[in-house]
Every structure is written in C-alpha cells, then in structure tokens.
Amino acid sequence: MFAIKNELVSRANLQVMRVLAIAAVIGFFYSSLLPASAVDTQKASTKRTTPLQLGVCFHNYEEYNPAAAKVLDDLRGAGSFWIRGDYEHPAKDAVFAKDMEKKKIKTLALLVAYKKRSLAEWTKYVESEVKALPNVDAWEVHNEPEMTWWGGPTPAPEYIKMAKEAHRIIKAANPNALVVGPAVGATAGGIKYLKQLIDGGVLDYLDAISFHYYIFHKNLDVEGIKKVVAGRKPLWITETGWTVADQAGGEAAQAKYVREYYDPEKGKLGSDPAIGVIFNYELNDDHFPLPKGKDDGWGLTCGAKGQFKRKQAYADFKALVKKVNETK
C-alpha cells in the first residue's frame, strides 16, 4: 500500500516537473518576441527622452560682421542650433539677438560676473540685459565661477543669490526663457562647488545644469557631474572642443573630435541621454596666426580679423547639426 502511494506521488511530481519545464520554455519563447522596452526596463529608462541639440560659442560683440552672418546662415541651413556668447553691452547685444531671432537661431545669453559687483550692481546689470533682450531663449548665470583665472572664485552662497536674482528678473520678463548655470568645469573642484550650490538650494533657480568638458584642460568627469545632479535637471555642456594650436593632430584631429564626441547615436558625449545640449567652443579662432600656449585655436573657422575660413571640423559639425534635426 505504501509502495503504491509512493509510486503515485512520484508520478505526480514528475508530471508537475514536466508542466513547469514546458511553461518555462513557452515563457522564454514569448519573451523573446517582446520589444526590448518590455523585456529590459532598466535599459529603456536610460534612453533619450528629448533630442540632442548642438550649439556654438561666439564672441558676438567683437566678431559679428557680414562674414560671420554668412557662416551662421550656412549652418542654419542644416537645421536649428544654439549660439552662446558674453552679454555685457545691452544696446549692441540687442541688435545681435534680434538678428539671431530673425535667423531662427536660438540664443543662450551668458551673464558674466568677471567684474566684482555687489548684489545690487549684479541686479542692475541683469535687468539692463533682460530689458534689452526680452525674447532670448535662455540665459546662463556666470562662467566657471569656481575658477581663479578670471579673478575668482565666486563664493557658493554669493552665486546662489546671483542665480536667485537672475531667475526672478528673467522669469518676470519672459516665463518661457530658460535659466542655466553654473558652467563649472567637470573637475573635482567644479563638482565640489556644484554640490555646495545644490545643497544651498540653487536647483530652485536653474532649469538646467551647465558644465564644461575639455580633454586639454582635463575637465573630464561627466559621471561626477551626473552623480551630484542625480537626474534632477537636464545637463548642458556649454563649452567643449579641440584646439588645433595646442593639441596634436591639427585640423584632422579636431574634426575627428567633433565626429566622435558630438554624434547623437554613437558620440561619447552626444549619445549620453542625460546631456541635452552640446556647445562647441567656439565658432571662430580668437587670433590669426595662432599663438601657441594661449588657449586659442578652438574655432570651427579661422583667418585674419573679419574672415571666417572654414576648417575641416566645420563640415563635420554642420553634418551633425543636420543629423540631430533629422532625428527629432
């Protein structure tokens, strides 16, 4: 009797095992037919939710002329892009910004604080620029505030007050305008400074976090920036590039950098879904001929003053402007 019961139990267990095995095979088969997003939610969560955008840095106050306008028109022919520059001369800045508006080139206006200003003086400066440029798409608060090359750093509590004032003034004039900052370097020092700002509440006054990435200057810690921001704001790289004056390889190496770092599908920076905008520093070289060791040679164009001769990288950058617009 016990032998019969044991045999029946064994048969039942075997049958259960067979059913479970068949179910596992069927489950595997159907899971292989599902889209990747349904099978691997972790990978899906890292996909880009907004298209990458590209931009160029440009010293509009010093360099804007018919030759520059022609280059910008040519780039605009490839698609939409951003232009970033220092804004310290409201009357002349207004002319340039209005021209960019006509060309449908998006403007990131950099509010600089290289001059020592009281908070009241800073407020007056921001008010004068915002009044002159009411339709600017975005404003950036300061440039590399943690660094010393310009006479800094700006203490973190002071920067937070500056960002708060800028945010108040900008949003009152144009609620749709973005406020971006602090444009720190992707270094240990920049990341430490950024954390101090975030701990102090600066995210309340910024729509996106900006930083600078340079191989030459060893500003390379994108992951450190991302860790501190923790997905709470979009990331903008408002300066990056390759200098033909002080890095090896000349124009060919610069063009390779543009292709390998900005491409939205496979670029080291461009394919990162956390990064919303990448600005090439810069449109045009500062000097001609190029001096060595003077932090020059970053431009996509070059030449004697007033000229904008296109380097090899210009064609690659233009092609990528077209590509990011086609993927929208």
| Nearest C-alpha neighbor of 125 from the set 144, 110, 136 | 110
For residue 284, the 8-state DSSP code is B
Q: At what angle do helices 156-173 and 119-132 cross, to 10 degrees?
A: 30
pLDDT in tens, 124-170: 999 999 999 999 999 999 999 999 999 999 999 999 999 999 999 99
Q: Do both 65 and 12 map to the same domain?
A: no
The answer to whether residues 316 and 270 belong to one domain is yes
Mean pLDDT of 305-321: 95
- CA nearest neighbour of 213 among 9, 57, 317: 57
Cα-Cα-Cα-Cα torsion 14, 16, 18, 23, nearest 10 degrees, comes to: -170
For residues 15 and 98, state if they share a domain. no
Number of domains in the chain: 2
| DSSP states along 198-255 | HHTTGGGS-SEEEEEEBTTTTB--HHHHHHHHTTSS-EEEEEE---TTTSTTHHHHHH
Shared-domain flag, residues 33 and 96: no
pLDDT of 3 over the 80 cut: no
Q: Containing domain of residue 191, as a range?
A: 48-326
What pLDDT was estimated at residue 301? Answer: 98
pLDDT-based confidence at residue 49 (cuts at 50, 70, 90)? confident
Mean pLDDT, the chain, rounded, equals: 88
pLDDT, average across residues 317-327: 96
pLDDT digits (tens, 9 = 90+) for 232-261: 999 999 999 999 999 999 999 999 999 999
Per-residue pLDDT, 309: 96
Residue 292: predicted pLDDT? 86
Residue 326, Ramachandran bin (φ over 0: left; ψ between -120 and 50: alpha; else beta): alpha
- Indicate which CATH number applies to the domain containing 99: 3.20.20.80
Same domain, 34 and 167: no
Residues 135 and 278 in one domain: yes
List C-alpha distances in Å: 288 to 259, 300, 314. Answer: 25, 13, 17
Q: How far is CA 206 from CA 153, 251, 253, in A?
A: 20, 36, 35
Q: What is the pLDDT of residues 175-196, one digit of tens each?
A: 999 999 999 999 999 999 999 9
State yes or no: pLDDT of 47 exceeds 90. Answer: no
Residue 7 has pLDDT above 60, yes or no: no
**4 or 301, which is more confident?**
301
pLDDT digits (tens, 9 = 90+) for 255-299: 999 999 999 999 999 999 999 999 999 999 999 999 889 999 999
pLDDT range class, residue 18, cuts 50, 70, 90: low
Question: Would you state the pLDDT for residue 176?
Answer: 98
For residues 102 and 13, state if they share a domain: no
Is the per-residue pLDDT at 19 higher than 90? no
- Say yes or no: 73 and 127 in one domain: yes
Span 87-116, average pLDDT: 96
The label of the residue with tokens 């489950």 reads 27
Residues 143 and 268 in one domain: yes
Task: Give yes or no: residues 59 and 182 share one domain.
Answer: yes
Q: Are residues 32 and 65 in the same domain?
A: no
pLDDT at 214 over 90: yes
Of 196, 200, 222, nearest to 211 by C-alpha is 222
Q: Within 10 Å of residue 44's Cβ, how many Cβ atoms?
A: 12
24 and 155 inside one domain: no
